[in-house]
Amino acid sequence: MASIEPLDKFLNRYRDMVFFNKNLIIAGVAGFFSGALGAQLYSRYDNNSLVNAIVALLSEYSVDIPFFAIAFYVDNRFRYHDPITGKKNTALIKQDIKKLVIAISASEAFYAVTKIFTHYQFLHYAIEPYQAAMASSLIAWTVFIVLVNVIGKRINLFHKSESERI
């Protein structure tokens, strides 16, 4: 029987990155369907491909961002408390929020451009709006996930262990 020790080592070493990506994926799945629904509903009222792509993006963001914020908060609400004193480490909270904003903002810029461009192109190939929204989301998500993780790693957003945080 295979040992799970290597998996445990990996999860312990990259815990922050794993939970961060889990939260992104949960939020992304919700946004994925929201964007498809928004694109399809908008197509009933107007045939403007560019506006349809923007509506799909805004529909995704309206679900994606709140879902991510809630999931991230739930996973990290006790992380910044000193277990002995019970006090918050506000300096570390501010530092990590800045890093989070940098990583997500830069990646979201590429996501938005990729999403709108590919969605627009798919609509011009006579693909159904919901299919265009889903396909463009998958392409843009690939770019986003790679970028947010590379940037997060580069700016030390992810800590290797809890002992580094306190």
Task: Give the pLDDT mean for 139-155.
Answer: 95
List, for residues 12-23, the tens digit of each pLDDT value: 888 888 889 999
Separation CA 93–CA 165 (nearest Å): 10
Separation CA 165–CA 35 (nearest Å): 36
| Model confidence pTM above 0.85 | no
Q: What is the DSSP letter of 163?
A: G
For 121, residues 6+ apart whose C-beta sits below 8 A from its C-beta are none
Kindly tell me the sign of the dihedral angle through the C-alpha atoms of 73, 75, 79, 85.
Answer: positive
List, for residues 78-122, the tens digit of each pLDDT value: 888 877 888 888 888 889 889 999 999 999 999 999 999 999 999
List helix spans (H) across 44-128: 49-76, 90-124
